[in-house]
A and B are shown apart, each in its own frame.
Chain A
Amino acid sequence: ATKSGPLAQIWLAANMSNLPKTSVLQTSIPESANEIAKASGCATDGSRERSGFEYITLHTSGDLLQGIVRVYSKQAAFLLTDIKDTLMKISTIFKMNQRVNV
């Protein structure tokens, strides 16, 4: 279930050393967190019935947790660099305008 389901991206994130930017930005963390919770057996409503459905082991959920945190961290890093980039561009534009006006 882990390999091709909604958590495939997260699973890959946990196991791969470097993640492609696009896939990082496309991943929705709240949704994935929800999925992990479901898969691990702690349903959102809190009830714990193991009716036939086989939940993933603790081992795997640890992996997935690590994966999702990595994605989260990466997203933050990307956002930070994007903001910095934008700032840089704006300031160069300002500088340029000044030079033009002088």
Chain B
Amino acid sequence: MHIKRVVIKGFKTYRNETIIDDFSPHLNIVIGSNGSGKSNFFAAIRFVLSDDYSNLKREERQGLIHQGSGSVMSASVEIVFHDPDHRIILPSGVAARPDDEIMVRRTVGLKKDDYQLNDRNVTKGDVVRMLESAGFSMSNPYNIVPQGRIIALTNAKDKERLQLLEDVVGAKSFEVKLHASLKKMEQTEQKRSQIASEMKELNEKLDEMEEEKKELEKFNSLERNRKVFQFTLYDRELNDVINQIEKMDDEYADTLQSSREYIKELDKREEMVAETSKKLRDLESAIKIKETAELTEVKVKDNELSNELASLDVKIKDLNRQIDSYDEQSVVDENNLNIINKAIESKQAQLSAINPRFEALSKDETIYKLQLAELQEKQRELLLMKGKYAHFKTKEERDQWILEEQHNLEQTLGKLDQSRKEISDEREISTKKLDVIDEEILELEDSVRGPGVLAELDDIDRELKNFKSRYAEKLDERKELWRSEQKLQTISETLLDTVKNSERNVNETMAHSLASGIASVKEIADKLKLSEDSVFGTLGELIKVSDKYKTCAEVVGGNSLFHIVVDTDETASIIMKELYRMRGGRVTFMPLNRITNDQNISYPPNTQASCTPLIKKIKFDAQFESAVKNVFGKTIVVRDLSTGAKIAKSYKLDAITLDGDRADKRGLLTGGYHDYHKRTRLDSLAELKNARAQHKRTCNELNQVKEKLHSVDAEIDALNGSIRKATQKKETILTNIEAFRAKLNNKKSEKLFLEDTLKSLAVKHEKININIKAAQERIQSYSQDLASTFENQISPQKQMELQTLETSLHEIQAKLNTTTETLHGITTERDSLSAELNAKLLPQKSDLEAKTRRGGDPITRELKNDLQMLIHERNDLQAEKAQTANEIARLQSELDSLLKDKVTNQRHLEKANNQQASLLKKLQSFQKDAEKAMVKKTTLIARREELQQKIREVGLLAEDALNKFSNLSSEELLSRLNDVSENMSGLKNVNKNAFENFKKFHDKRIDLDERAKELEESKVSIQNLIVKLKQQKIAAVDATFKKVSENFSAVFEQLVPRGQAKLIIHRESNSANDDDSANRDIDMEASDEDSQTSSIYTGVSISVSFNSKKNEQLHVEQLSGGQKTVCAVALILAIQMVDPAPFYLFDEIDAALDKQYRAAVANIIKTLSSNAQFICTTFRTDMLQVADKFFQVKYQNKISTVVEVDRQEAINFIRDRGRLAEV
């Protein structure tokens, strides 16, 4: 263990937190100028580790805390040990640290003084003990030597040195502890005397107890006898009673067994009857349904199918005929068309043959006509000229005329030009018109025959088809619905019958007025339209009970089962008024809002399996809880009535057995034999509810079907409408097309007319051209004439011309005539041909074509499709019809078998009913027997219980004692019992517990005695130990002294080779009889401790010689300061060798030594430092040479700091200082 780190804060010159870390476990040196704070560092360590700073006064504390700039309120020093060998034992409660470090911190403020170990607050005692365990004594730390105190060791008195030595041995603490121990022993001795006296008392009491015990034993034997007597008597009677009960039980069991069998039989019959009548009812309803609904329905369907088939056949025939006639018609039409086509072809051929000639001829004719006109004009001119010229007298006259004529001609020319222009304008207009008409024709043709129209038509056709098929589907659906409506109607009727039947069953189980009341309530609720949420029905209908608990529920419920549950008392009063008005009977109402139940019904806990609250076995809707609770809440079902009655009574409840025997809360028992044979009300009610529910369901279904029918009707209507609309649309389109076609024809004829106009215009144009030409020529000839000389007649040249004109006129006239003639012939022929074509053949052809186009293939195809469909339909219908026929047959056979079943069931029912009656009679007689037996049995059981109770009171007895008196008669037993009882009355005051008390305390006594004895032994052994230890102590001091003294001499010689030293121990004057003193009585020694120092020594003195081995033994008082130091160092080191402390702190121990001693001391410390830590201050270099670590204290601004330096730095510092000092 060594000091590893010191942390100082606020202590003396160490104002700031100063950490001096990593001390060597061997030799450390602290250097620093005077007054820098070295001693303060040592003081800090002593502050924590020695007693020097204990019990500080206020001023002393002040002196420790740093004084100076800045207020420091507390001083703390923390010393951290490194303890890898775990020599330090931590006080309990202080946690060890993982790095083997132990932190001891002391903090002093003006008002506080705390110790902390590993950051945990501890007392100073804890720290003292802990350090002691590691071999470090705080009270006498001779290993911490403050500055200037080294000589004190040498100067100390002999006795002080002895103490030091004893301390090394540990004698002092031993002495203290011994003293404490002895005191404790004394105290204990006192206790022991107390123990002895108490023990005595205890023994006396226990003796008394033993006395009592003996008395008790006697009493016990007497009592045992009495008990045996009593027991034997009771036992005999009990056996008797039990035998009787058993016999009765057997008899009863027999009766019960046979009655059970009968009941079982009865139940079976009952069930059978119920089953058979139910079967019968089912059969009847089934037959009814089969007969009225299914069979008729199928038959109706069959009829319908036949009708449909017949109408279909007719339709098919009709269609076939239509198709045939269409086919014929189309063949004829085709033939006609062929013929007409051929005729058209031949006519057209003829026409085209005639046409060229006709054209050539007509051309010729026009040419001729033109020529003729031209010539005639010329001739007329010439003739006119001839006539005029004859009248002229002068040239001027002639010229005048010519000019005039010329002028006229010119005017005519202008007019002609004008008209020619007009004509060409007209022609242009006509061509344009023609173009327009052409376009119109194209358009019309498109709208008559174009793909758009056709597509539209197709679409409509498809739509129509679609609608029609859907229409048919819907019709079928409606038919199906009608059929199911019919069926449901019948079913509902039969169900209504069942409901009535069930109602009758229920009514049988109650009074007439009640039954009619319930019926009336139903009627009233219907009449007043009270919803199902206000009048719920009878209570019995609203609950469900398993078979096991049915009897109980029925018995408990009683007439309450027919109470009518309503929502409020208002509803109840409304119905009541009405009921009263119509005298409808009597009912009781349970208005849910008015029922109040006892809130604190408590049931026996569940663990008692022998009973269970009845209400837990009833299932019901949560809203009826209050009503159900009102009737059933106060009842528990128990297995056995007598125990059950007790439980029920303690919980203020009613009890009932599964058989319906009951006990109410007053403990009254009722019950016995309940009607096993009657139909239970609950069953009837349940059946009724079931039947009603079924009926309602069927009605609902019927309504649904009706609704569906409505919707289907509506759909059919809608479809009809759509079909009509589509047909209309189609028709309008067709009429439109027709209209367009008429327009087209108009346009075509208009076109023809325009073409004609154009032709005639062309002719006119030509004519005008010729006229213009002629006029021009005349103008020219007039001009020639103007130039020629005046003559009275025309020039000969012109006469000639006239003559030639005449001839050529004739010629042309002749030609024209012949041409015209031939043309006429041809024209008539052509006209007749084209007339035939246009007026007759082409229209016929287009008619036929239209016919084939419109009426031909598509219609037949449609018809064929229809036919196909109809045939298909017919097939379907035929199949269906076959099916229905099968169905009819099946239904018929089913009906037959049902009827047969019905008959057999009726027979069964009759038989069962007869058997039932006889069984019932038998059961009644059994019931009477059983009741009688029960009464007798109850009295016997009461007696049995009484006896058993008595035997229990007697208690358990030994087996052999029981048989001891079995041969005695009962009278004798009785007299003996009386004797014993008398004897016992004398011993009345006996203590019944004496026996066990004695036993209990006897053990205790032995235990206590033993322990007292042991304690005595302990005392002796401890006394022995103390004696031995005392001897041991003396021996230890002796031994230690011897060793220390040896070591002292050796060390001294090492330091002062020429000198010699030794330690001398001084004994007490009367030390001769030390053996006696050791053997003296311990008690005495402990009592006068003060006078006895327990040591036989008085002191230790030192004797030294510094220059001679032999003489001059000096006493320490005579030594110089340096020599004293040497002695002290030698002593400390000698002790260190014997009892090594973990660390040593020396503040300038070498201050007074000269060089030679310094070196020697340094060397010894060096060798010792391998086993112990040394921290020293010095102003010399000797120790620096051998040290391991160096720390320099610096002092600035009145604050100390510590830094680690290396050896050379340390040496330099010392040297510099020395030199400075010299200067």
A65 to B177, CA, bound (A): 8
Q: Which residue of B lies closest to A17 (CB)?
A: B92
- The answer to whether A42 and B1031 touch (CB under 8 A), given A66-B181, A101-B989, is yes
**B184 x A69 contact (CB < 8 A):** yes
- The answer to whether A73 and B187 touch (CB under 8 A), given A40-B1029, A61-B1029, is yes
Stretch at the interface among B166-174, B560-568, B968-976: B166-174
Q: Does B1050 contact A (CB under 8 A)?
A: no
Q: Does B760 contact A (CB under 8 A)?
A: no
**B170 x A58 contact (CB < 8 A):** yes
B interface footprint on A59-102 (CB within 8 Å = 1, 0 otherwise): 11111011011101101110110111011011101100100110
Contacts of B192 in A (CB 8 A): 76
**A90 x B206 contact (CB < 8 A):** yes
- The answer to whether A68 and B1001 touch (CB under 8 A), given A80-B191, A91-B205, is no
Contacts of B188 in A (CB 8 A): 69, 72-73, 76
Q: Does B752 contact A (CB under 8 A)?
A: no
**B1022 x A69 contact (CB < 8 A):** yes
Q: Does B797 contact A (CB under 8 A)?
A: no
**B195 x A76 contact (CB < 8 A):** yes
A55 to chain B, nearest CB (A): 9
Q: Which residue of A lies closest to B196 (CB)?
A: A83
**A62 x B1008 contact (CB < 8 A):** no
A61 to B1025, CA, bound (A): 10
Q: Which residue of B lies closest to A29 (CB)?
A: B1018
- The answer to whether A90 and B1018 touch (CB under 8 A), given A36-B1025, A57-B170, is no
Of A42, A73, A93, the residue contacting B997 (CB under 8 A) is A93
B134 to chain A, nearest CB (A): 12
Contacts of A37 in B (CB 8 A): 1024-1025, 1028-1029
A interface footprint on B1027-1043 (CB within 8 Å = 1, 0 otherwise): 01101110110000000
Contacts of A87 in B (CB 8 A): 198, 201-202, 205
- The answer to whether A65 and B178 touch (CB under 8 A), given A29-B1022, A33-B1025, A87-B198, is yes
Q: Does B742 contact A (CB under 8 A)?
A: no
- The answer to whether A29 and B1028 touch (CB under 8 A), given A70-B184, A97-B991, is no
Enumerate B997-1016 residues with CB–CB distance to A below 8 Å: 997, 1001, 1004-1005, 1008, 1011-1012, 1014-1015
A11 to chain B, nearest CB (A): 10
B980 to chain A, nearest CB (A): 22
A34 to B1033, CA, bound (A): 17
**B201 x A29 contact (CB < 8 A):** no
**A33 x B195 contact (CB < 8 A):** no
A95 to B769, CA, bound (A): 181
Q: Does B993 contact A (CB under 8 A)?
A: yes
**A33 x B205 contact (CB < 8 A):** no
- The answer to whether A83 and B181 touch (CB under 8 A), given A41-B1032, A58-B1036, A90-B206, is no
Q: Does B1070 contact A (CB under 8 A)?
A: no
- The answer to whether A62 and B1019 touch (CB under 8 A), given A86-B1008, A90-B206, A90-B209, is no
Q: How many residues in B have their beta carbons less than 8 Å from beta carbons of A?
A: 59
**B1012 x A79 contact (CB < 8 A):** yes
A83 to B199, CA, bound (A): 7
**B1015 x A76 contact (CB < 8 A):** yes
- The answer to whether A42 and B1032 touch (CB under 8 A), given A68-B1025, A83-B198, is yes
Contacts of A75 in B (CB 8 A): 1011, 1014-1015, 1018
A77 to B187, CA, bound (A): 10
**A76 x B191 contact (CB < 8 A):** yes
Q: Does A30 contact B (CB under 8 A)?
A: yes
Q: Which residue of B lies closest to A35 (CB)?
A: B1025
- The answer to whether A48 and B1035 touch (CB under 8 A), given A65-B177, A87-B201, is yes
Of B169, B993, B1019, the residue contacting A97 (CB under 8 A) is B993
- The answer to whether A65 and B205 touch (CB under 8 A), given A59-B174, A97-B991, is no
Enumerate B144-181 residues with CB–CB distance to A below 8 Å: 169-171, 173-178, 180-181
A94 to B994, CA, bound (A): 10
Q: Does B1026 contact A (CB under 8 A)?
A: yes
Q: How many residues in A have their beta carbons less than 8 Å from beta carbons of B?
A: 44
B815 to chain A, nearest CB (A): 174
Name the prevailing secondary structure of the B interface residues.
helix
Q: Does B940 contact A (CB under 8 A)?
A: no
Q: Does B880 contact A (CB under 8 A)?
A: no
Contacts of B178 in A (CB 8 A): 62, 65
Q: Which residue of B lies closest to A70 (CB)?
A: B184
Contacts of A93 in B (CB 8 A): 993, 997
**A65 x B1021 contact (CB < 8 A):** no
Q: Which residue of B lies closest to A91 (CB)?
A: B205
Contacts of B173 in A (CB 8 A): 58-59, 62
Q: Does B443 contact A (CB under 8 A)?
A: no
Contacts of A101 in B (CB 8 A): 989, 991
Contacts of A90 in B (CB 8 A): 202, 205-206, 209, 997, 1001
Q: Does B132 contact A (CB under 8 A)?
A: yes
B89 to chain A, nearest CB (A): 9
B959 to chain A, nearest CB (A): 32
Contacts of A62 in B (CB 8 A): 170, 173-178, 1029
Contacts of A84 in B (CB 8 A): 198
**B184 x A40 contact (CB < 8 A):** no
A89 to B1001, CA, bound (A): 9
**B1032 x A65 contact (CB < 8 A):** no
A90 to B184, CA, bound (A): 31
Q: Which residue of A lies closest to B988 (CB)?
A: A101
A interface footprint on B193-225 (CB within 8 Å = 1, 0 otherwise): 011001101100110110010000000000000
Contacts of B171 in A (CB 8 A): 58
Q: Does B1186 contact A (CB under 8 A)?
A: no
- The answer to whether A80 and B195 touch (CB under 8 A), given A65-B177, A73-B188, A86-B202, is yes
Q: Does B812 contact A (CB under 8 A)?
A: no
Contacts of A65 in B (CB 8 A): 177-178, 181, 1025-1026, 1029
Contacts of A89 in B (CB 8 A): 1001
A interface footprint on B101-141 (CB within 8 Å = 1, 0 otherwise): 00000000000000000000000000001001000000000
**B1021 x A34 contact (CB < 8 A):** yes
A28 to chain B, nearest CB (A): 8
B interface footprint on A5-45 (CB within 8 Å = 1, 0 otherwise): 00000000001100000000000011001101100111000
A80 to B175, CA, bound (A): 30
Q: Which residue of B lies closest to A71 (CB)?
A: B1018
**B132 x A59 contact (CB < 8 A):** yes
Query: Which interface residue of A60, A61, A62, A100 has the most chain B CB atoms within 10 A?
Result: A62
B1036 to chain A, nearest CB (A): 5
**B1015 x A79 contact (CB < 8 A):** yes
Q: Which residue of A lies closest to B1035 (CB)?
A: A48
**B1015 x A33 contact (CB < 8 A):** no
A57 to B92, CA, bound (A): 22
B934 to chain A, nearest CB (A): 48
**A79 x B170 contact (CB < 8 A):** no
Task: Please give 16 more A-B residue pairs, beta carbons under 8 A apart, in addition to A72-B184, A73-B191, A87-B198.
Answer: A30-B1018, A37-B1024, A40-B1028, A41-B1035, A58-B169, A58-B1032, A58-B1033, A59-B170, A61-B1029, A65-B181, A69-B185, A73-B184, A83-B195, A90-B202, A97-B212, A97-B993
A-B contact pairs, 27 of them (CB 8 A): A33-B1025, A34-B1021, A36-B1029, A37-B1024, A41-B1035, A58-B174, A62-B170, A62-B175, A66-B180, A66-B181, A68-B1022, A69-B184, A69-B1022, A72-B1015, A73-B188, A75-B1011, A76-B188, A79-B1008, A80-B198, A82-B1008, A82-B1011, A83-B199, A86-B202, A89-B1001, A90-B997, A97-B212, A100-B991
The 6 closest A-B pairs by CB, nearest first: A59-B170, A29-B1018, A62-B174, A62-B177, A58-B170, A30-B1021
Q: Which residues of B contact A (CB under 8 A)?
A: 92, 129, 132, 169-171, 173-178, 180-181, 184-185, 187-188, 191-192, 194-195, 198-199, 201-202, 205-206, 208-209, 212, 989, 991, 993, 997, 1001, 1004-1005, 1008, 1011-1012, 1014-1015, 1017-1022, 1024-1026, 1028-1029, 1031-1033, 1035-1036
